[in-house]
């Protein structure tokens, strides 16, 4: 029997995360995601995924010190980006720069320090290239800023609003990890050959680049742009549904009920009500859309997915569309590296079979 795309095939055991599509739950190391986003920072949840437990104050301080120390670009990274053509696509740039770090310092087995280094420098790579293409000089990292706040500062050259930092941090926590998705599987396959963590992360970035996996929520952005104001919401959505258009940002191939990541983002955005008009609009659009879906498409269990609120966040912080997938990558590198570390602890090389369906030559 062939399971195309390995759908439904269990290829590894993991203690990192669990997805319950029927119940709409996402678990990181035993903790429900909504509880983590409500009370913990990006740095704390990253620590949880790498080390298996939430950090003490001392452990968090040590992690923050390592992250801050590793934010700076190496001269090799700058040189590589300075010679790359400016029309190179963003994900290929990230893949190339990370790959260039594959020195003899990175060998088998991978270490948490290596994972921290790659995570810390990823936002700086993104900000440096983004500013370079625009003919601007990227701001140096600020050691007193958190991981997410520093990312926004380097991108835009100014201090972001607290509401924007909170919203983006929540999104990045929610996208740190999501089971054996295509890019995570790619990372684990590469690591299973006892290749280094840089190679594994490079494999994952190449996989994330594909539009079927790491594509930007541009459809939701288009929807919000079409609505623009609270007053136009019902009219725009009703017309789209009546004409048979797909409502972008609703439905998910894994979750058969509410996407827990969307719920966590919605809760955060409601708490930030009045701080940003795009965040407020997204909450209103969801309420109206769910009502109209129940009216016009009864029996269809369509709920918002994480991309819906991700689009609202990207819109609120004026994140350029070309930064959507790179930002996703800047968070998911934590999950990738956690899986690489786990793979190394009990390694067996991945070697699935294929079924030959070609012809046989007649001799």
- Counting Cα atoms < 13 Å in the Cβ hemisphere of 308 gives 30
Residue 28 in 3-state DSSP?
strand
Q: What is the token pair recorded at 239?
A: 């017309």
Instruction: Return the domain boundaries, the chain.
Output: 17-211+322-345, 218-316
Which range in 11-25, 113-127, 313-327 is most confidently predicted, on average pLDDT?
A: 113-127
Q: Domain 218-316: what homologous superfamily?
A: Cytochrome P450-Terp, domain 2 (1.10.230.10)
Is 252 labeled as catalytic in the residue annotation? Answer: yes
| Band of pLDDT at residue 266, cut at 50, 70 and 90 | confident
CATH class of the domain defined by 17-211+322-345: mainly alpha
The whole-model pTM stands at: 0.88
Is 307 labeled as catalytic in the residue annotation? Answer: yes
Q: What is the token pair recorded at 136?
A: 């601007």
Query: Residue-wise over 330-363: b if at least 16 C-beta within 10 A, else e?
Result: bbbbbbbbbbbbbbbeeeeeeeeeeeeeeeeeee
Please check the confidence at residue 76 and state whether its pLDDT lies above 70.
yes
Q: What percent of the chain shows pLDDT beyond 90?
A: 52
Q: What are the residues facing 26 on neighbouring strands?
A: 19
Q: How far is CA 147 from CA 69, 119, 168, 271, 292, in A?
A: 12, 10, 11, 22, 39
pLDDT at res. 184? 95
- Counting Cα atoms < 13 Å in the Cβ hemisphere of 302 gives 23
Condensed to tens digits (0 to 9), the pLDDT of residues 217-243 reads: 667 888 888 888 889 999 999 998 888
Whether omega before 109 lies within 30 degrees of 0, making that bond cis, reads: yes
pLDDT at res. 342? 97
Catalytic residue among 40, 147, 178, 252: 252
pLDDT at res. 303? 75
Please check the confidence at residue 190 and state whether its pLDDT lies above 60.
yes
Which residue is associated with the tokens 């095939």? 9
Please check the confidence at residue 294 and state whether its pLDDT lies above 60.
yes
Residues 306-318, mean pLDDT to the nearest whole number: 79
pLDDT at res. 230? 87
Catalytic residue among 43, 307, 339, 342: 307
pLDDT at res. 83? 95
pLDDT at res. 53? 98
């Amino acid at each position: 029997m062939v399971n195309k795309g390995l759908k439904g095939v269990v290829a590894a055991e993991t203690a990192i995360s669990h997805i319950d599509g029927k119940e709409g739950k996402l678990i990181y190391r035993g903790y429900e995601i909504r509880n983590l986003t409500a009370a913990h920072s990006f740095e704390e949840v990253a620590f949880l995924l790498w080390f298996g437990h939430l950090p003490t104050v001392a452990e968090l301080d040590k992690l923050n010190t390592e992250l801050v120390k590793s934010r700076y670009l190496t001269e090799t990274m700058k040189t590589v980006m300075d010679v790359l053509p400016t029309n190179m696509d963003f994900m290929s740039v990230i893949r190339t720069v990370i790959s260039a770090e594959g020195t003899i310092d990175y060998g088998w087995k991978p270490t948490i320090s290596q994972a921290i280094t790659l995570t810390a420098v990823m936002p700086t790579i993104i900000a440096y290239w983004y500013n370079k293409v625009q003919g601007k000089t990227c701001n140096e990292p600020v050691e007193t800023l958190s991981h997410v706040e520093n990312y926004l500062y380097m991108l835009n050259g100014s201090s972001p609003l607290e509401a924007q930092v909170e919203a983006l941090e929540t999104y990045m926590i929610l996208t740190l990890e999501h089971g054996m998705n295509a890019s995570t599987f790619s990372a684990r396959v590469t690591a299973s050959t006892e290749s280094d963590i840089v190679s594994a992360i490079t494999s994952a970035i190449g996989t994330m680049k594909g539009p079927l996996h790491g594509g930007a929520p541009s459809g939701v952005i288009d929807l919000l742009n079409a609505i623009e104001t609270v007053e136009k919401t019902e009219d725009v959505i009703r017309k789209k549904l009546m004409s048979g258009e797909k409502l972008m940002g609703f439905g998910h191939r894994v979750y058969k009920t509410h996407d827990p990541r969307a719920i966590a983002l919605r809760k955060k955005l409601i708490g930030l009500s009045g701080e940003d008009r795009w965040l407020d609009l997204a909450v209103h659009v969801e309420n109206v859309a769910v009502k109209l879906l129940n009216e016009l498409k009864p029996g269809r269990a369509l709920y918002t997915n994480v991309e819906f609120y991700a689009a609202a966040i990207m819109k609120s912080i004026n994140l350029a569309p070309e930064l959507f997938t790179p930002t996703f990558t800047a968070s998911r590198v934590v999950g990738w590296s956690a899986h690489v570390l786990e793979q190394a602890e009990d390694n067996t090389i991945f070697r699935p079979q294929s079924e030959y369906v070609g012809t046989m030559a007649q001799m």
